[in-house]
Structures are given as structure tokens and as C-alpha cells.
């Protein structure tokens, strides 16, 4: 099925209104438009969890990169004896293909192998037509297991940038309790009255101490891009790079109230790029 038709069908099903590709107005509409018409070949490198490290190093240095422990083409190539007691395995070409190991002696290798091999066979592009993933080489990387003082694990902070300008950020809390909450903020410290996917937290959400550093890194990494989300972690006040995302929730998650779909959409200045 052609990408445009496929996206129109999924869009109407998930968001309840028709996808307007001729004159897109909302944030979610414009993300679908960019899937079809903003095909900068650089994006393929930037969604590759291994190759993006080279880009980050060239832009802001490697001090913010989580230490890399290895890269392999298949699971059988991994020498677990050479890995530390704690590590994280990730597939380079998709979302969700990871195995977190906190104690190597308790790692279920058979289960890990099954999960990783399933992910290696998947072409993430086909699911919701996020074209940058189409030609990413499926590989496995291992990174250092990062810890923080947070009881819920390592929090991440996601910054929405438009034309290289960081505008808002959000974080997800309460994951460990099975009731995730998502809160959006601007860079003036205001909690924004918007929900997407999850409800807002019922308790105040702490601002990361290194937010300004994250903001500057996000600005540098997203220059020249109509829209990109830059994700970071904070460990003991130090910033670590997470990933770059061009299609937040793949452009299929409604906003409440709906006006925020339009407010964020106004921030995206569409530019066609046919990949040449």
C-alpha cells in the first residue's frame, strides 16, 4: 500500500479526523507530511543508535555519550564473558528492542536472545512508515548501565525543537507504579496544560538541574531540522544523550485539549526534501 494511503487510514483510525496532506495544520498532520516529503538522508544516520553517536561526537563531543561496550551483527557474536555485570543491549534500527541487565548471573540469555532476534528481523519503517528507519542496518549494541537516585529508574527528558529552537520539554514519571504520567513544560518554568498519551502527574515534577545544558545540546543537535525531539538523561547532574526522534508518537497520539495539536503544528515550518 502506498505510504500516503496507509498513513491516511491509520491517521483517521487513531485521531478521528481526516489527514490533510495538501494543507496540514496540526502537529500530527505535519509529522505525517514530513514522513512523505522531508526525506533528508541524514535522518537515517540520526535514528541509528550506533551511527548517531558519530554525529553527536562531531557536534557536542563524546563526553555526553553513554559508554559503548560493543557492537555486533547477531546475538551469537556477543561474548558475555567480556561484558561487565551490568549493561544494556539495544537494537540499532528500531524502538523497544532492548534488554536491561542489572546482574549478569541472573540474565536469562534464552529470553534475551529471543527478544533481540525478533527485533533484528523487524523493519520498523513498515509499522507506521517512519522512513528514516527503512535502511538502517540491524545491529546490536551494548551500553553501560546507567543509574540515578530516582526510585523509578533513570528519568529521561525530551525536548521538542523547531528549526533548531528548543520550545518545550516533557518527562514521564510514575512508570514503576504502572500508572505513567506525562508532564510538559516551557523553558520559563511553566507547567503546560496539555496531555498526550498519559495524564499529568498528581504531584509536582522536579526540573532537572542540568536543563539549560540539555537545552543547549538540543539546539546544536537539531539545527536545520523543521522538527526534532532530542532526548537526554541526567545522572548526578551530568547530561547524557539519549536519542533523536523525528516523529514523536509517530504523529498518531491525540492532544488534550486539541488546541495543542494546532499550537505545536504552528511551530513547524514545512520544507520539502526529496533526499537528493
Owning domain of residue 108: 66-145
Q: Say if 239 falls within a structural domain.
A: no
Predicted confidence at residue 180, as pLDDT, reads 87
Predicted confidence at residue 97, as pLDDT, reads 76
Is the pTM for the entire model greater than 0.85? Answer: yes
Q: Say if 267 falls within a structural domain.
A: no
Q: Say if 175 falls within a structural domain.
A: no
With a cut of 70, say whether residue 151 has pLDDT above it: no
CB–CB of 161/187 below 8 Å? no
Torsion, Cα 260 156 245 23, to 10 degrees, reads: 0
With a cut of 80, say whether residue 276 has pLDDT above it: no
Q: Say if 78 falls within a structural domain.
A: yes
pLDDT grade for 258, boundaries at 50, 70 and 90: very high
Q: Say if 202 falls within a structural domain.
A: no
* Alpha-carbon span 233 to 240, nearest angstrom: 5
Ranking 130-134, 177-181, 187-191, 231-235 by mean pLDDT, the lowest is 177-181
Predicted confidence at residue 174, as pLDDT, reads 81
pLDDT grade for 272, boundaries at 50, 70 and 90: confident
Q: Angle, to 10 degrees, between the axis of helix 27-37 and the axis of helix 3-15? A: 170
pLDDT grade for 178, boundaries at 50, 70 and 90: confident
Q: Say if 137 falls within a structural domain.
A: yes
Q: Say if 165 falls within a structural domain.
A: no
Q: Say if 132 falls within a structural domain.
A: yes
With a cut of 80, say whether residue 207 has pLDDT above it: yes
Q: How many CB atoms lie within 10 A of CB 193?
A: 11
What pLDDT digit, counting tens, does each position of 58-97 carry? 999 999 999 999 999 999 999 999 999 999 999 999 887 7
What pLDDT digit, counting tens, does each position of 111-124 carry? 999 999 999 999 98
The larger pLDDT score, comparing residue 135 to residue 273, is at: 135
Cα angle 164, 126, 136 (rounded to 5 degrees) comes to 60
Predicted confidence at residue 203, as pLDDT, reads 87
- Structural domain tally of the chain? 1
**Beta-sheet strands, E only, within the chain:** 68-72, 87-91, 98-101, 140-144, 156-162, 165-173, 181-186, 195-196, 227-235, 238-245, 255-256
CB–CB of 161/223 below 8 Å? no
Amino acid at each position: 500500500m502506498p505510504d500516503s494511503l496507509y498513513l491516511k487510514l491509520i491517521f483517521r483510525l487513531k485521531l478521528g479526523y481526516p489527514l490533510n496532506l495538501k494543507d496540514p495544520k496540526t502537529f500530527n498532520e505535519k509529522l505525517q507530511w514530513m514522513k512523505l516529503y522531508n526525506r533528508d538522508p541524514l535522518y537515517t544516520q540520526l535514528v541509528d543508535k550506533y551511527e548517531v553517536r558519530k554525529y553527536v561526537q562531531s557536534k557536542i563531543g563524546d563526553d555526553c555519550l553513554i559508554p559503548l561496550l560493543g557492537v555486533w551483527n547477531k546475538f551469537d557474536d556477543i561474548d558475555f564473558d567480556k561484558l561487565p555485570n551490568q549493561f544494556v543491549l539495544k537494537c540499532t534500527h528500531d524502538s523497544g528492542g532492548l534488554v536491561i541487565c542489572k546482574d549478569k548471573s541472573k540474565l536469562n540469555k534464552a529470553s534475551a536472545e529471543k527478544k533481540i532476534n525478533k527485533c533484528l528481523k523487524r523493519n520498523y519503517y513498515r509499522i507506521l512508515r517512519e522512513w528514516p528507519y527503512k535502511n538502517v542496518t540491524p545491529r546490536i549494541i551494548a551500553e553501560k548501565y546507567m543509574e540515578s537516585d530516582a526510585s523509578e529508574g533513570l528519568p529521561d527528558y525530551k525536548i521538542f525543537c523547531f528549526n533548531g529552537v528548543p520550545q518545550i520539554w516533557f518527562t514521564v514519571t510514575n512508570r514503576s507504579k504502572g500508572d505513567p504520567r506525562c508532564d510538559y513544560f516551557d523553558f520559563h518554568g511553566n507547567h503546560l496544560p496539555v496531555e498526550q498519551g498519559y495524564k499529568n502527574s498528581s504531584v509536582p515534577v522536579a526540573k532537572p538541574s542540568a536543563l539549560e545544558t540539555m537545552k543547549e545540546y538540543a539546539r546544536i543537535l537539531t539545527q536545520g531540522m523543521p522538527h526534532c525531539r532530542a532526548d537526554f538523561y541526567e545522572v548526578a547532574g551530568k547530561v547524557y544523550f539519549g536519542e533523536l526522534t523525528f516523529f514523536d508518537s509517530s504523529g498518531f497520539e491525540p492532544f488534550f485539549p486539541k488546541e495543542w495539536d494546532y499550537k505545536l503544528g504552528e511551530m513547524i515550518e514545512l520544507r520539502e526534501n526529496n533526499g537528493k
